[in-house]
Structure 1
Amino acid sequence: MNVIELAIRADAESAEALAAAFNEDAYGGAVIEQVVTPERGETLDAARPFTVRAFLLKDETLEEKRRAIERAVWALGMVRPVGELETRELAEQDYANEWKKFYQVLHVGARTVIKPSWLEYEARENEIVIELDPGMAFGTGLHPTTRLCLAMLEKYVTPGCEMLDVGTGSGILAIGAVKLGAKFVDARDIDPIAVETAQKNVATSGLAKSIHVARASVMVEANPQTFDLVTANIFADTIAELAPALLQHLKRAGVFIGSGILVERAYLVENAMREQKMKCIATAQEDDWLVMVYRHKTNDE
């Protein structure tokens, strides 16, 4: 069966929204690529340096799914700068190789390696290898926010610690944390597709006893379970909104890692964390994206 490739250029914030829209209907999920070197005959659009790419099966559902994606692109284009939606048809055998070329072995931080299952890689001393297949969930290592979070996990995961991962997506942070030494991770997501993808990746990694994946979010509770580490690779607005609940699950000496934060939206997280009496202890930036690390303030701070 042939497939239809969809591609559109956008800025960082729009790329995130477009990928979410594509994931509703795309076959195998969406890929966000950063265009560094344009293809021959193309030009680099500095205002829209990302390409969101996805595929639709050419079956009886094609037109309905394509119209849904076109409506989402039109709606976003009313408020954000996005390019034209480009399409082309590929034979099934071409598609099988086409989408794989966007995935490669990625080195993140000092010792984390992300590897698609079809590629061979021999780990070096002290490296951890996360094996993932791309699915319809956020978090393959192709996006800066995922890389930023993994690099911070290398610094803040301690042997035997317990972690809460909110918005787990593909489960990549949960898997990385356990491979770095965490004893247990409670991985949550409200998207059923993400939950299914994370469960598969956790099972493939042989870590089902150490990682519990559930369709859930966080809320303020009377007797919350607390963790040494809380991660939320979502959006700045959502982190700010959920801050009281997220931090209620953080032990007094624990560390919170938040990402998915555009530089221009960082003030939302800063304000919310200030209200919760949290202190920023580290930040890192890649392109327009930030990761922000917090701990509870001491009595004299």
Structure 2
Amino acid sequence: MTQEAENWYRVELLIEESGTTNAASLLWEFDAAGVEIQDRETYADDETIAPVPEGTNRLVAFFQFETPGAAAQFERDLTSALGDADIVTLSLQCAPYTDKSWETAWKDYFKPALISPRAIVGPPWEDFEAPDGGTKIVIEPGMAFGTGTHETTQLCAEKLDRLLAENDASPSVLDVGCGSAILSMIAKRLGAEPVVGIDVDATALEVAEANLAVNDLAGEIELSTTPVDEVEGTYDIVIANILAHILLHIREGLLPRVAPGGILLLSGITEAQEQELRDAFVGDGFVEVSCEQKGEWVCFELRREV
């Protein structure tokens, strides 16, 4: 067995059904290299998968750790995070895994997607064209930093597209938690200037830099691991598509980055968290323009008063 194979771990959670979305988001936040949700209906007739008890879902995720000690620490950290998020967890298992056929199988399901009226995102192995007057973004994000198909990315992309279409100037954009830089690239291609993307995960930025190169945008977007409260200046549009508890944590650094009269887009928020985030961000000079929803996810558009 190679050392590389020994570094992979399979994590399995059995949780109450209501906590599925938040649990999956947590696994991605911990840099999962793939997350599968097994519900009672989908796998009812599959005899190769153990039945999922009523009222629960099973989440299966894959991670790579350098040592067993790192895997053990991850298990403790994940247990703590699940508790902090009030996710009822019936079981959590983390064990070495050697079958990596899943690692490329996901590519069968990544197809080009129109995520806003003027932006289409797809992988390099698919042949697709940009919409009229719009842009084509090619992305191969590895496994953990986003392909543009998630509802929160689409919500932000749609709002960003509209804001840029309505603005004859070239508004500045700050993409907080930029991940694979999809929103940053859309902003740049649709006329924003300058565009800055920040993410605390250095590996995410490596993926983002590779995506910029593939799309002939290398050097056109400034990427860094600068914390939001250390970013200099203000921006006409600030996007923060992150999990709700992180939005709350960075609130004091996020709000001052929005220029007077500027727009703040907040997503990564479930319907159940909508009012908590509204209470936290509306006021203190910020007014709610709209709150759109896809599935169970919402996106706020807030404007900073002049």
- Would you say same fold, with TM above 0.5? yes
Whether 1:175 aligns to 2:185 is yes
Alignment check: 8 A CA contact 1:136 1:194 kept:
no
| Stretch moving more, 274-283 or 33-42 | 33-42
8 Å contact kept, 1:226–1:249: yes
- What stretches of structure 1 of length at least 5 have no aligned partner? none
User: Deviation digits for residues 152-204 of structure 1, max 9, x if unmatched?
Assistant: 11111245221011111111110111122212211111111122221221222
Task: Please point out which of 187, 197, 206 is paired with 1:196.
Answer: 206
- How big is the shift at 1:69? 5.2
Given the alignment of the two structures, is residue 18 of structure 1 paired with residue 27 of structure 2, yes or no?
A: yes
Superposed CA offset, 1:91-127 (max 9, x none): 56x4464131242222213232110122221334234
CA gap 1:254/1:52 in 2 versus in 1, 3 angstroms: farther
What is the aligned partner in structure 2 of residue 219 from structure 1?
229
Letter in 1 for 2:139: L
Look up the match of 1:276: 284
TM-score (norm 1): 0.78
Q: Which amino acid aligns with 1:154?
A: D
Q: Distance in 2 between matches of 1:76 and 1:283?
A: 27
Gapped regions of structure 2 (runs ≥ 5): none
**Selected match of 1:231 from 239, 249, 258:** 239
Q: Name the SS for the 1:195 alignment partner.
A: helix
Q: 2:128 aligned with 1:121, yes or no? A: yes
User: Does the CA-based 8 Å contact 2:139-2:211 persist in structure 1?
Assistant: yes
CA–CA distance in structure 1, aligned partners of residues 157 and 58 of structure 2: 21
> Residue 277 and residue 50 in structure 1: after superposition, are their counterparts in 2 closer, same or farther (change >3 A)?
farther
User: Residue 129 of structure 2: SS of its match in structure 1?
Assistant: coil
Residue type matched to 1:230 in 2? V
Say whether residues 1:288 and 2:296 are aligned partners: yes
- The equivalent residue for 2:257 is 249
CA–CA separation in structure 2 for the residues paired with 1:271 and 1:62: 43
Equivalent pairs counted in the alignment come to 287
CA RMSD, Structure 1 to Structure 2 (Å): 3.4
Q: C-alpha distance in 2, partners of 1:115/1:36? A: 31
Residues 263, 124 of structure 1: alpha-carbon distance in 2 compared, 3 angstrom cutoff? closer
- Equivalent in the alignment of 2:45: 41
